[in-house]
Amino acid sequence: MKDHHSKANRARVLADLNALRAIGAYKTGVHRPTFSEPHIHSLQWLLQKLPEAELAGEIDGIGNVLGTSAKAGPKLLAGSHLESQNFAGWLDGPLGVIYALEAARVINPDPSAKGAVEVASWCDEEGHFGQFLGSRSYVSDVTEQEIDAARDRTNARPMREALQAAGFAGRPRRTAARGRHLGYLEAHIEQGRTLEGANLAVGVVTSIVGIWQYRITFTGEQNHAGTTRMKDRKDAGLAAARLCVAIDGGFPSACGPRTVWTTGRITLDPGAPSIIPGRAEMLFQVRDDSPAIVERLEACLRELAAETGTASGCGVEVERIRTGKPAMMDEKFQRTIEEAASTFADGKSVRMPSGAGHDAQVLATIMPAGMLFVPSIDGISHHWNENTTDADIVRGADVFVETCRLLLAS
Amino acid sequence: MKDHHSKANRARVLADLNALRAIGAYKTGVHRPTFSEPHIHSLQWLLQKLPEAELAGEIDGIGNVLGTSAKAGPKLLAGSHLESQNFAGWLDGPLGVIYALEAARVINPDPSAKGAVEVASWCDEEGHFGQFLGSRSYVSDVTEQEIDAARDRTNARPMREALQAAGFAGRPRRTAARGRHLGYLEAHIEQGRTLEGANLAVGVVTSIVGIWQYRITFTGEQNHAGTTRMKDRKDAGLAAARLCVAIDGGFPSACGPRTVWTTGRITLDPGAPSIIPGRAEMLFQVRDDSPAIVERLEACLRELAAETGTASGCGVEVERIRTGKPAMMDEKFQRTIEEAASTFADGKSVRMPSGAGHDAQVLATIMPAGMLFVPSIDGISHHWNENTTDADIVRGADVFVETCRLLLAS
């Protein structure tokens, strides 16, 4: 059912991933935040590779790398991102970019393969400056005002300044030509343990969960930590701690089977050892692919916060600062990935939702989209220890290239 | 038993306190952190006032203001501090300095009053750069290396740089001439509600509690907040929250009647909304004047931390970073303050420990020391809302001046 031409060049895939790993290397991972010198270097590296796939490349005005084919026939868009979280893993992003590049290298120059794969590296998927700025720009969902206001969350550097320094300022931002692509395909490491735990090779993504985010603020009474009796205190920090514990106790009975929630940051104000915190702020997040479940959990959260505030003598405000919308992956893309996996991965695939956000959820707003996962060792993610075996990487590449071929041939 | 010469000039005391309040004014309080422009201004203000008390003044190499008398007879050292916590109250520090200045102005020029009051403003009692650096320097307990290493806790500015900018670098640091003073007297606002609640005018400090401080670090597993199932998590932030709640539940049955404890800071690492914290650090503090009680509480803390760590799948380290030593106030000083209060405050005084640290605890290591408190409205402290009524301020000044007179006369 397949011909050998559709197979990936395994050595080339591994060599390219390792070449990217060397750009901004940190321990066994990389430190390649958006618009850092290594990140810009990696974009230029990709730009120089695109001609190998008979693609005309450019870096646009928001830092997206786009490779365009002049070949006749259907076009499939494929890609991921090249920047990393701070001090994080080598495959989160680059895996999908190199798979896309490899599929383009295999399919585009082959006159017997129908159509072409076009390659994209979306800027700032990791959210140093905003949320999916690169892919959202491509689907015409980013205003100039949003870019004006964007700042690096690590060092507050304005995005405009970073674009200027990178040499991208003043370039046009490219947007999708509607109807040009039959869809978008992205590969990624799983960032979880589902595949590894079940000895599977490929995850066929059914949906990308929505992310709901909250800022919870307790207001108590800032006072002296030595002279204020325990009974007289209104300790906002203790209130925040109580809410974390209350959520941990209350959410399990109200959540869905795959719901996750996280308090990623707690800030006590003023944060001095001898002062009772008068104010405490928590950044809290819930992810699920069912808005109904999250609605129930939000009600639960508000109730627990109110109870905790009352019990701690503190005022409390629960503010939703991000409302997630789950993205459904295209059914035909899912079937095609399964078909490719049956050929190249002994059928060791499973359908699963993605708990992490990906550019595919943005592209899915304007075209059919699909995603496939390869296993991650111990599920470690957003850490320089993140890794995947070479065997899983090259098997995933074969499945990816074959999926592209099948989609273009159909 | 007293003559009218020993009474404070009430209008002068209030005018001086309000003059200081205008230097670095913030809402109804002040923002006058150590070596800020307003703080340096306040030190110079005091320097210029010292001749009114027949004192030769200087600012030494650590920023202490010291006024020295050439008058014959016994000398009493008195003072407090002029810097504030960030955005904090107007009386915390200045009250004691102006009382000392007033006592010196009343007693020193009066040939019928025996001896002299010498005035000190100790630098950095509020601990922007360290712990009691000014008074500890005066008792020869600060090395040059400690100053080399000291940095502003708010902005990490090196203390050496701040001393240079203030013009104090290169000056000698003055130390106590042993035997020169019969003792040290300090006044302060209570920073609590004991006096106000019992309609009292003066607190006679019996001891200054010790402060024990701990850095508690939980180490879990940093991971992706979307892809890591709840059951697979080792959330260091949740562990820290659990410990706060466990302490709140466990300490009351093991503490003393006046023990207080506070978690003033919680830091989650990396502190991003989409990353499960791999590390959490708490700054935790216990205050009591009984080392035996604190020893019991420390054992309790270590036990709760270990239990919480185990229950959360996290490693935990409890590190004691400050070991408090309670300081006892001199019995004769206590009796003298009571005697002055019986004359000038209708005997409305009470003996009480100080839950806050003060320079008097440092001076007490080399000479007899005493402290008196005046009431604070609602016990508010380390906040710009801190206040004391004018009536309580001037009554306290009378008691203070009289205490100085009695101590010098005895």
What is the residue-averaged pLDDT of chain A? 96
Residue A5 pLDDT > 70: no
Residue of B nearest to A281 (CA): B266
Tell me the mean pLDDT in the region A205-210: 94
**How far apart (Å, rounded) are the C-alpha atoms in residues A247 and A235?**
19
- Say which residues have a Cβ less than 8 Å from residue A352's Cβ, sequence separation at least 6: A194, A203, A204, A205, A206, A373
Conformational region of residue B70, where left means phi above 0, alpha means psi within -120 to 50, and beta covers everything else: alpha
pLDDT at B260 (0 to 100): 96
Q: How far apart are CA B379 and CA B319, in angstroms?
A: 31
User: Residue A125 has what DSSP assignment?
Assistant: T
Whether chain B has a CB inside 8 Å of the CB on A152: the answer is no
Q: Give residues 336 to 365 of B whose Cβ lies within 8 Å of A.
A: 354-357
Contact residues, B window 188-207, toward A, CB-based 8 Å cutoff: 190-193
Tokens standing for B137? 């320097």
Q: Which residues of B touch A190 (CB under 8 A)?
A: 227
Q: Taking the CB of residue A407, how many other CB atoms lie within 10 A of it?
A: 25
- A193, A268, A287 member nearest B226 (Cβ): A287
CA distance B275 to A285: 10
Return d(Cα A326, Cα A323) in angstroms, integer. Answer: 10
Q: Does A81 belong to an annotated binding site?
A: yes
Are B268 and A270 an interchain contact pair (Cβ–Cβ within 8 Å)? no
Which of B262, B371, B380 would best serve as a mutation to test chain A binding (most A beta carbons within 10 A)? B262
Q: Which residues of chain B have pLDDT under 50?
A: 1-5
Residue of B nearest to A261 (CA): B225
Domains assigned to chain B: 4-209+326-409 (3.40.630.10), 211-322 (3.30.70.360)
Residue pLDDT, tens place only, A77-129: 999 999 999 999 999 999 999 999 999 999 999 999 999 999 999 999 999 99
Mean pLDDT, residues A289-308: 96
Do the beta carbons of residue B218 and residue B279 sit within 8 Å? yes
pLDDT in tens, A17-54: 999 999 999 999 999 999 999 999 999 999 999 999 99
Which residue in B has a C-alpha nearest to residue A131's C-alpha? B274
Measured between alpha carbons, how far is residue A139 from residues A55, A149, A367 in Å? 21, 19, 10
Describe chain A by its helix, strand, coil percentages, rounded to 5.
40, 25, 40
- ipTM greater than cut 0.95: no
Could you give the CA distance from residue A238 to residue A241 in angstroms, rounded to a whole number? 5
First and final C-alpha spacing in chain A: 13
Q: For B251-286, where are the alpha helices, taking DSSP H only?
A: none
Q: Which chain A residues have a beta carbon less than 8 Å from that of B265?
A: 268, 271-273
Question: Smallest Cα–Cα separation from A104: which of A76, A136, A62, A64?
Answer: A76
> B358 to chain A nearest CA, in Å?
11
Contact B382 A230 (CB under 8 A): no
**pLDDT for the residue numbered B2:** 44
